[in-house]
Amino acid sequence: MNVLAVSNPGQPDWRWRIVDYYGGTVEESHIAFPTIAAAVAEGRGRLRQHADRDAPIVRRRWAPGQRKTGPSLTDTVDPRGPKGK
pLDDT (average), residues 34-56: 83
Determine whether 63 is exposed, middle or buried from the number of CB atoms within 10 Å of its CB (0-12, 13-18, 19+). exposed
- pLDDT of the residue at 64: 65
- pLDDT of the residue at 49: 82
- pLDDT of the residue at 29: 93
Residue 82 pLDDT > 70, yes or no? no
Distance from C-alpha of 46 to C-alpha of 39, rounded to nearest angstrom = 11
Single-letter code of the amino acid located at 29: S
- Band (pLDDT 50/70/90 cuts) for residue 2 is confident
- pLDDT of the residue at 53: 61
